[in-house]
Chain A
């Protein structure tokens, strides 16, 4: 291992990157821009669900009921529909995600102290949205039922209104949200985005950097030089690691200061894990670059291997614990899940070394494995 040769190789790589100004600028702009866009845009707090109402009853009671939806911040009222065909048309075109059908005799039944029927038609294409919508509708319906029952008790059993209200609602559910009190997804999302973006961008840079030499043929200079394989890889990866680490720090600052994600845990534990993780994602790029011959293949393989898993299987959108076995296996194969846990510990839960060392060990092993395989598969001799 010769430090001078490593320095020379690193210097050459730095110069090449710096001279490609668009590439250099993009390698910093892309992660930061994506952080801004996703941090603000990637929310799962469903609100303003377009809703239509089909009122077959047209009594004061049914109108009262309709107003509960019209005035709810969870729904955006799109107007009354007059027949079933129109309701179907609104749902299929996506202009309404839910249609409430108030049955005939709604007001009459309730006035006579009898159960009344309503029907909810939901657009089921996106099951998560459907579930959330159903939850909102059920909550509004339960509240109305309670009020009706309380009024009934006051009339028939002579309870005081306050007593009746307690009677119909014997068990209250007090919900305490831990770690993310406002249920603001931007907090949780912003800190997890560090993980996703650091798995997406560095492998792209690294893989392209190495494969570019292969495709243009300049790698033959290396093959013919006295630099060893290890020297070449260290020198080559040096700038990409540095860029990725700077990006990691920028993303961290953005998560804390722009999105206000609380960082309560240990700084040193987080820094050490970040170095490992960045090394790891650089290593993925290295491995891909060893496997493929062309830059096109490098890009496609990197995109398929990193972009999708970093979003879908990392716990960014849905927690790993709720996935089934095959997806959990996919998640366990990628480093994102482990770093995601570390981020969760360090940001929201305010914990330190004592909790993260297990995941750090996995990341370290993963990184070592990647580099060993990459090193073993990179040859200075062209395959015959």
Chain B
């Protein structure tokens, strides 16, 4: 490198650094903002992990037992914790319906009068299960567990055994299924929720902070000062990404080490270095979306609305809250256009599944391939607006 070039590079860096420091100062003067940033990466992640539960948990169960035989009692007793919580018997199916209406019960089991006698006589009988499916996720889980409980009971009766012990079944054709859930054997919701919440908050801030930082300059007119200074558009934008991005990554580190690993004991299988490298890449490119918003918006209020417009669909469709397999086909195409979707896959891939860089080419391609053009577009629009 020639001395001349080196000197120019040094000046370039010093200017960029000065602007970065300016962003830090501006951000840290806003006490409430800093407090909420800390909240978003720690307490919020913790509460989401601890509290939000996708499992069927203590679903209120009422039993309308017109039979009162040992068979009906046996089946009702199998609807137990952790999935169901037997809240006692209801006098009639009508009363059960009323309790369902009021939201006090979620499931009502209704045994017909001759239930036990029919079973003893070997005649097929049925039990009715009324499920409140106003919330369809939990409603379908309740149905699924109910079918498993009753199906198991039926097989036991058919085989004439007291308990279905797969080791003790001989001499009959029978299917023995062993399930193994990889990557999260005990099916801890907290692992998924905490990580998903962390990535969601990271995405929100990666869009909003740079967007607001740039739009504020536009609104106050200080961007004119930057324009007459000897700075190139890249030199004006890069410090914003650098300053906000580094703060977000620091928050991410607090969330990962403090909450995800510290409190939820998620066993990290892959390389943390790789995870933070991919996150840094993701934050930098997602900041491009924010900067693009800031070039479109004329004031901060517009930035706010545009951010909601962009962020809310992103978080919804990225797979953070609903599995991609539950989406209609055209939505999944849309999903493929969201960088956050790839970041989520990368985060779960590295942290839970232990993927290395070789297994992440699709995610990296998604993050870079979608992010780079947006970042480029925002730089181009910004330089065109102010030249």
Residues of B within 8 A of A297 (CB): 30, 32-33, 36
Residues of B within 8 A of A47 (CB): 325-326
| Cβ proximity bits A296-319 to B, threshold 8 Å, 1 near / 0 not | 111111111001100111010111
Q: Are B175 and A115 in contact (CB under 8 A)?
A: yes
Looking at B158, B216, B328, the one whose CB has the most chain A CB atoms below 10 A away is B158
B322 to chain A, nearest CB (A): 6
Q: Are A171 and B154 in contact (CB under 8 A)?
A: yes
Q: Are B136 and A45 in contact (CB under 8 A)?
A: yes
Q: Are A127 and B55 in contact (CB under 8 A)?
A: yes
Question: Taking CB as reference atom, which chain B residue is nearest A75?
Answer: B325
Bound-complex Cα distance A212 to B298 (A): 13
Q: Are A295 and B133 in contact (CB under 8 A)?
A: no
Residues of A within 8 A of B174 (CB): 115-116, 145, 148-149
* Contact for A22 among B169, B297, B315, CB less than 8 A: B297
* Contact for A177 among B119, B133, B212, B352, CB less than 8 A: B133
| Cβ proximity bits A200-224 to B, threshold 8 Å, 1 near / 0 not | 1100110011001001100000000
Q: Are B53 and A300 in contact (CB under 8 A)?
A: no
Bound-complex Cα distance A174 to B140 (A): 14
B96 to chain A, nearest CB (A): 10
Bound-complex Cα distance A144 to B88 (A): 35
Q: Are A308 and B44 in contact (CB under 8 A)?
A: yes
Choose the segment among B202-210, B273-281, B366-374, B376-384 that binds chain A (4+ C-beta atoms closer than 8 Å). B202-210
Residues of A within 8 A of B147 (CB): 135, 139, 173, 175
> How many contacts A-B (CB < 8 Å)?
430
Q: Is the interface of B mostly helix, strand, loop or mixed?
A: helix
- A30, CB-defined interface residue at 8 Å: yes
Q: Are A300 and B36 in contact (CB under 8 A)?
A: yes
Considering only CB atoms and an 8 Å cut-off, how many residues of chain A contact the other chain? 129
Residues of B within 8 A of A205 (CB): 305
Q: Are A44 and B44 in contact (CB under 8 A)?
A: no
* Contact for A355 among B102, B126, B325, B353, CB less than 8 A: B102
- B54, CB-defined interface residue at 8 Å: yes
Q: Are B175 and A135 in contact (CB under 8 A)?
A: no
- Please report B residues at the A interface, Cβ cutoff 8 Å: 30, 32-33, 36-37, 39-40, 44, 47-48, 50-60, 75, 97, 100-103, 106, 119, 122-141, 143-148, 150-155, 157-159, 166, 169-185, 187-189, 191-192, 197, 200-201, 204-205, 208-209, 212-213, 216, 219, 297-309, 311-313, 315-317, 319, 321-323, 325-328, 331, 334, 345, 348-349, 352-355, 359, 362
Offer 8 A-B interface pairs, CB within 8 angstroms, sorted by A: A127-B188, A142-B155, A174-B127, A291-B32, A312-B52, A313-B52, A321-B58, A326-B47
